[in-house]
Chain A
Amino acid sequence: NAGVTQTPKFQVLKTGQSMTLQCAQDMNHNSMYWYRQDPGMGLRLIYYSASEGTTDKGEVPNGYNVSRLNKREFSLRLESAAPSQTSVYFCASSYSTGTSGNTIYFGEGSWLTVV
């Protein structure tokens, strides 16, 4: 059971470099999410995709772009990395965003350091 798979698991970037975090789910879920986790801050939503072909901003979208490539894949791009984007990034998915009490399933996380 792969569930939600993220790559890479670890990455070090220099300020100004760009990179893409990849995410894929094999649960036939409609909705996918990108969160970032910082110490003492819990998880904050960056972007989400309610269904294939749609994306929307979450709480902290600045400095990020996303692409819902198909139903399985949802990528997060940092165009010009900044030290403030040093964080742990989690991809997640759920059957839908509109269903009450819908469970969200998380990937293992991607540790990103920007120096």
Chain B
Amino acid sequence: AQSVTQLDSQVPVFEEAPVELRCNYSSSVSVYLFWYVQYPNQGLQLLLKYTSAATLVKGINGFEAEFNKSQTSFHLRKPSVHISDTAEYFCAVSEGTDRGSTLGRLYFGRGTQLTVWP
């Protein structure tokens, strides 16, 4: 089974500062990677996903993430955060269909709470 490690449980930053939320995954086989965002008392919303096209993936709300196969990482970045970016962010991975028994199910990290201060 896959495992996903989000290296920071909480990341506090000031408004307009850059931010990086770190994510590492366990598998060296073909994988598909996702970042989801969860605002308070809401469900999860897809920010972006990597599916073996370009290694730099751009998502909604100015976020981007870079897939690094050698480091098995998929860190999320934003050059300038807003207070409205305060939320919990989840990294998730699914294995490719060449590992068909897993049927593309998602494995989630434990989440990173991003808090943006004015």
Q: Give Cα A96–Cα B44 distance, bound, in whole angstroms.
A: 18
Q: Give Cα A41–Cα B41 distance, bound, in whole angstroms.
A: 16
Interface residues on B, range: 20 to 34
Binds B, one of A61-69, A74-82, A103-111: A103-111
Q: Give Cα A33–Cα B46 distance, bound, in whole angstroms.
A: 16
Chain B contacts of A107 at CB under 8 A?
43
Q: Give Cα A107–Cα B103 distance, bound, in whole angstroms.
A: 21
In B84-112, the 8 Å CB interface with A consists of: 90, 94, 96-97, 100, 103-106, 108-111
Structural contact, B104 and A100, CB atoms closer than 8 A = yes
**A53 at the A/B interface (Cβ < 8 Å)?**
no
Chain A contacts of B50 at CB under 8 A?
101
Chain A contacts of B36 at CB under 8 A?
106
**A90 at the A/B interface (Cβ < 8 Å)?**
yes
Binding site for A on B (CB under 8 A): 4, 9, 30, 32, 34, 36, 41-46, 49-52, 90, 94, 96-97, 100, 103-106, 108-111
Known: A40-B110, A43-B90, A106-B45. 11 other contacts (CB 8 A): A33-B105, A99-B97, A100-B51, A100-B94, A103-B34, A103-B46, A103-B49, A104-B106, A106-B44, A107-B43, A108-B43
